[in-house]
Amino acid sequence: MASKIQKEKISVIGLGYVGLPLLFELSKKFEVVGFDISTKRISELKEGIDSTNELSGKAIAKVRPYLTSCVSDLKDSSVYIVTVPTPIYKNTSPNLKPVASACNLVGSVLQKNNLVIFESTVYPGLTEEFCVPILERSSKLTFKKEFVVGYSPERINPGDKVHTLTSITKIVSGCNSAALKRVNYIYSSIISAGTYKAPSIKVAEAAKVIENTQRDINIALVNELSKIFNLLEIDTNQVLDAACTKWNFHNFRPGLVGGHCIGVDPYYLTFKANQAGFNPQMILAGRQMNESMPRYIVNQSIKHMKTKNLLAKKSSVLVLGLTFKEDCPDVRNSKAIDLCNILEKSFLKVHAFDPLVDISSKKKALGLAQKIKILKTLPVSARYQLIIINSPHKEFKNSGTTMLNSLMAKQSVVFDVKGALSVSENVVSL
């Protein structure tokens, strides 16, 4: 069996934060093809440019020969790994269009005895209930008799250079024992941390979706605590520092919750729960708390400005960092966008700067108000009455007080969302 698997050719569908590192690692052990529907993405990668910053130019060079946006290049593969995004609509229901599109694409080239593995975060049951029927219709093949599927949830932490793909235990599952054996062999060949064989695809799907749901709820708790402690005039981070001296206290910190996973995945679980006749309360309460934080930060900022008599019509505010987390160029579902829009609606003159991503061309797509000015570089000197540090990138931390002093007015408020700076007379945090 092992010798047969080794000869398999693997196609990775979707070359974003998840697919590209996976393609790189698989290329060390297998014949591979990397596919993305975006010709722009493929062109950039062939030029050695990875906008996600997950791979270096040297690493990209090793997979460059295998990159394509041509479906016909996938025809002789025996394994297809789907790593497309699973976003939500504005009403928080799952947007399954990317997954459906990927299934139709794979189905158009699927052959007998092929294996399809899904890595995208979904609700329990989606692989076999939603994806498999599309594969059958597109391929005219019969599930389990002529092709099999597996599920191995992605666990990539964007921007994290310590907890990388190979160093995180990989959950694997298959529609039957033979499929599981194939899935496990493929991933155990590249994952140094090892694999965990889930008893079913549904279990693997559920395990992934609760990972981010648990994190979302934990952050919601500390966000609520920060609101309480603010009313009690207690520094939240000081409280958490003290509590962390107990060995079993979990060190979550308050802040904005965005990105393509944590702020999205809980809705996949609640959607499925509603279908099953159960109305989740704790999960949705956590989501509501975290969704409230951009407005809360604006309200707190304005309150501190008022205490210093800094609030005037069109007072200037600078938002530093528009990505959903530090040292990562990902702006998907970034709550910094909501933050900026609320600030602008509060009659403040809003400037924003992020050294990791060019926002100017994406303003409309991101829903950023046109009046908000995106800076390409920080001004040498400025007079901002309010500075909000949303994503404390290394560049900001390294510049520290020198950067802030050059940007602050004589009297200013610095709101440090993630508590990256020391609290002082001018610096406040959640």
What distance lies between CA 291 and its chain's CA centroid?
16
Q: How far is residue 377's CA from residue 371's CA, in Å, rounded to a whole number? A: 18
Structure tokens at 85: 């995004």
Q: Of 371, 293, 301, whose CA–CA distance to 335 is shortest? A: 293
In the chain, the amino acid numbered 6 is Q
Question: Across the strands, what pairs with 118?
Answer: 82, 151
DSSP H or E stretch at residue 411: strand 408-416
103 is catalytic: no
SS3 418: coil
In the chain, the amino acid numbered 21 is P
Q: Of 11, 21, 12, whose CA–CA distance to 55 is shortest? A: 21
Structure tokens at 350: 């809003």
Active-site entry in 103, 261, 328, 340:
261
Q: How far is residue 6's CA from residue 254's CA, in Å, rounded to a whole number? A: 46
SS3 47: coil
Supply the residues annotated as catalytic.
Answer: 261
